[in-house]
Chains A and B, each alone.
Chain A
Amino acid sequence: MSEKSNGKARVITGNEACAEGALAAGMRFFAGYPITPSSEIAEVLSAKLPKYGGVFLQMEDELGSIGAIIGASLTGTKTMTATSGPGFSLMQENLGYAVMTEVPCVIVNVMRGGPSTGLPTLPSQGDVMQARWGTHGDHQIIALAPFSVRETFDLTVRAFNLAEKYRTPVILLMDEIIGHVNEKVYLPSEDEINVFDRIRPTGSLEEYLPYEHTKSRVPAMADFGSGYRYHVTGLAHDETGFPTNKASEINKLMDRLDQKISMNREDIIDFDEYMMEDAEIAILSYGSTARSSRHAVRLARENGINVGLMRLRTIWPFADEEIKKISEKVKLWIVVEMNRGQIAHEVEWAVAGKIPVFKVNRIDGDPINPLQILEKIKELANVQL
C-alpha cells in the first residue's frame, strides 16, 4: 500500500487510524473496557460500528471483552478488542483459549509504562514479552508493531488478514506515542486494500473436521449456525474437536498449532531496512522508538558513521534468521527499545555471540531521544571490537 492515495488528507491519531483500519478490514464486532491510553479506539468504534451494521459493546472488564470477541468470531464475524498493559494482563487466559481453539481475533495493546498501574499516560514497550509468553503453555503468537499513524492503519488491516489466514489471535502492539500522535495521512480507499477472509468448509456436514490436520495446517472454519455443528473446547482435542488425553493426538495438535505459524514465518515476518546497504553498525528497533532511531541514523550519517536501521513490523514470530543473516555484514547491533532489553535478548539469541549486541533503553516514561542513541553510536564507532 502506498503512502499516498486517492483519499483526502486527514490529521488523525494512531488510535483513530487503528479504528479506521479495523473497519476497513471488515471488523464488525468490538468489545472493550476503558483504559488509558487505548480508550479512543473504543470511543471511535462506538460511534462508527452501528453505521456499518456492526456491534460495539462495552464489557464489565477485559476478561469479558476478550471472551465476547472470541464468541462473536465463532459466528463468522471479524472481531477486535483494545486495551493497555493491565487489561492485557487480564486477557492472557482467554488469549490462550483463542490460540488453542484457533479463533481469529485482533487484540490491540497500546503499551504504557508498567508494571502494575505504572504510567497510564506515558509510553513504554514493556509488553513485548507479555505478548509472546503471557498466556500459559507452549504456543505460537503473531504480534505486529506500527511506527506511524498511517502504518497503524496498514498493520491493523494486516493483523486481521493474518488472524483470518492462520486462524489465530493477532496482537497489535502499539505504544502510547503511536496511539496519541497526530499525523497527516491519506487513508487508502476500499479497492486499494487487500482483505483476507477465513476459509470456510465446503464439504459435507457429516465429514467436517474443525481441527483437521491439513497440509496447510490451517483447518477450514465453519460459522456457528451454518449447519456444521461442532464442539469447541480449550481442552486438548483431536481433529473432531472433542477432548482427548491420547498422547499421539495431543502431539499432532500441538505440532500443527506450531507449524501453521513456523512453516509460514516468511509470510508473517515483515521488517523495513533503512540505510542498511553499507551499514557497519545496525540498529534494531520497532514502534515509536524506531522513529528516534531513524533520526539518529541520519545524524550519525552526517557525522560520517555508516549506520543503518532494521525496523521490525512483525515482532512475533521473531525475525531471528534475518537478523542472523544481517549479522554477517555488520560489526555490531544496537537494540533500541523502551524496556530493559526484552527484544535485545532475542537478538542476542539470534546472533549467538558472533557479534556484540548493545542496548539503548529507557523505562521512565520519557521517549528515547535521538541524541541518546547518537551518543551510543558515536561511542561504539570508535571502539575497536
Chain B
Amino acid sequence: MFNYDQYLRITKFPLIWCPGCGDGIVLKSLVRAIDKLGLEKDSVCMVSGIGCASRLTGYVDFNTLHTTHGRAMTFATGVKMAKPDLHVIVITGDGDATAIGGNHYIHAARRNIDLTVILFNNHIYGMTGGQVSPTTPKGMLASTAPYGSMDHTFNISGLAQAAGASFVARASVHNGVQLENYIAKAIQNKGFSLVEAMSPCPTAYGRRNRLGAGVDMIEDLKRDAVPYSKAKKMTPEELEGKVVTGIFINEEHPECRSEYQKIIDRFQKEK
C-alpha cells in the first residue's frame, strides 16, 4: 500500500474540494510521481495561483507558495532563477493560467524555464461559483454565460507547445496511472513542462450542464479520450468533442536558467 501520508499535511484535511471533484486524483498522481523519482521533500518547491486546484499547495509537505491569481508562473520563475537546484512545480487551473495569467504562461513556456506545470482543466471557475472560463466549450452553460458560452476555447497544450515548451502532455483523471507517468516525465524534463490534467467539476460545471455526478463525468472523459497516436489519423470533424491524450512534445531545448549560468560563468571572474 502506497504511503501518501508521508507527503501530505494530514492535519490540514479535510480538503476543500467537493465530492466528485477530480483534483484529488491529480494530487495522488503527483505525489506518486514525486515518490517514484525519489525526490527529497526539501528539494521540491510547489507554487500555485488562485482557484480550486491552487489550494493543493496547502496540503502537501514541501516548500509551498500559494500566490496571487494568475501569477504563480512568475513567482516560480523567481524561485527557479534564484535557486536552480529546487524542483519547482506549478499548480494552476484553466482560468488561473490561461485567462488572468495567460501572458505569464506563454512567456514561461517561451523561456523554456525548468518549471513543471500541472494545469488542472475543469472548463470552469469552480471556486467563485461556475463562471465561464477560456476552456468552457462553446454552447455550455456557466453562471456568467447563462445563454451558453459563445467563444472559441483555448487549446492549452497547443498554446504551450507553440510558445516553446519542451514537454507537453495531456492526461485525464480517468487514467491516474498515465497521469502519474506523464507528471514524472515532466519533472524529469529539463525545461518548461506542461501536464494538462482533465478534471471534472460536478458542482460548478456538471450540475448546470446536466452532466451528472463526478463519476458520470469521469466516465464521459474515459469515453471521449482519444490517444494522440490515433488522433493524428483522425479528421477535425471526427475529433469534435474528443479529448486527445498523450505526449505531444518531449524534446530538449536550451533551458533558461542553464543558459543564464553560462553567462554567469563567463563574466563572474570579471567583477
Chain A residues engaging chain B, CB cutoff 8 angstroms: 28-29, 31, 50-55, 57, 59-61, 63-77, 79, 93-94, 97, 223-227, 229-235, 242-243
Contact = CB atoms under 8 A, between A and B. Distances in A.
Interface in B27-86: 41-43, 45, 47, 57-58, 61-68, 70-71, 73-79, 81-83, 85-86
Nearest to B55: A243
Contact of B75 (A51, A54, A70, A93): A70
A68 B75 contact: yes
B213 to A, nearest CB: 28
Please classify the interface of chain A as helix (H, G, I), strand (E, B), loop, or mixed, using the class held by over half of its residues. Answer: mixed
A67 B68 contact: yes
Given A68-B81, A71-B79, A225 B86 contact: yes
Given A225-B43, A227-B42, A51 B68 contact: no
Task: Sort A-B residue pairs by CB-CB distance and give the 3 closest, nearest first.
Answer: A71-B78, A67-B74, A68-B78
A227 B271 CA distance: 32
A93 B70 CA distance: 11
Given A75-B86, A225-B86, A64 B77 contact: yes
B27 to A, nearest CB: 15
Contacts of A69: 78
A66 B67 CA distance: 12
Contacts of A76: 83
A224 B58 contact: no
Contacts of B58: 231, 233, 242-243
B79 A230 contact: no
A184 to B, nearest CB: 24
Given A29-B81, A50-B266, A232-B66, 16 more contacts: A50-B263, A50-B264, A59-B74, A64-B103, A70-B78, A71-B47, A71-B75, A75-B86, A223-B83, A224-B83, A226-B42, A227-B42, A232-B64, A234-B66, A234-B68, A235-B66
Interface string B82-119: 11011000000000000000011001000000000000
Nearest to A65: B74
Interface of B: 9, 12, 41-43, 45, 47, 57-58, 61-68, 70-71, 73-79, 81-83, 85-86, 103-104, 107, 260, 263-264, 266-268, 270-271
Contacts of A59: 74, 77, 107
Nearest to B263: A50
Nearest to A226: B42
19 contacts: A29-B78, A29-B81, A31-B78, A50-B260, A51-B270, A52-B271, A54-B264, A60-B104, A67-B68, A67-B71, A67-B73, A67-B77, A94-B68, A223-B83, A225-B85, A229-B63, A231-B64, A231-B66, A242-B12
A70 B76 CA distance: 9
Contacts of A77: 82-83
B104 A64 contact: yes
B86 to A, nearest CB: 5
A230 B63 contact: yes
Given A50-B263, A60-B104, A97 B68 contact: yes
B260 to A, nearest CB: 6
Contacts of A51: 267-268, 270-271
Given A60-B104, A67-B78, A71-B77, A229 B12 contact: no
Contacts of A235: 66
A10 B99 CA distance: 48
A242 B58 CA distance: 7
Nearest to B77: A68
B68 A93 contact: yes
Contacts of A225: 42-43, 45, 63, 83, 85-86
B23 to A, nearest CB: 17
Contacts of B271: 51-52
A116 B66 CA distance: 31
A110 B9 CA distance: 44
A77 B86 CA distance: 14
B181 to A, nearest CB: 26
A68 B268 contact: no
B66 A29 contact: no
A52 B45 contact: no
Contacts of A53: 264, 268
Given A53-B264, A72-B81, A242-B58, A63 B64 contact: no
- Name the residue in B42, B78, B260, B267 with the highest tally of chain A Cβ atoms < 10 Å from its Cβ: B78
B66 A64 contact: no
A175 to B, nearest CB: 27
A66 B71 CA distance: 10
Nearest to B86: A225
A75 B79 contact: yes
Nearest to B270: A51
Contacts of A243: 58
B71 A224 contact: no
Nearest to B12: A242
A50 B268 contact: yes
A231 B47 CA distance: 10
A56 to B, nearest CB: 8
A57 B81 contact: yes
A97 B61 CA distance: 22
Contact of A72 (B43, B63, B66, B82): B82
- Name the residue in B12, B63, B86 with the highest tally of chain A Cβ atoms < 10 Å from its Cβ: B63
A384 B99 CA distance: 62
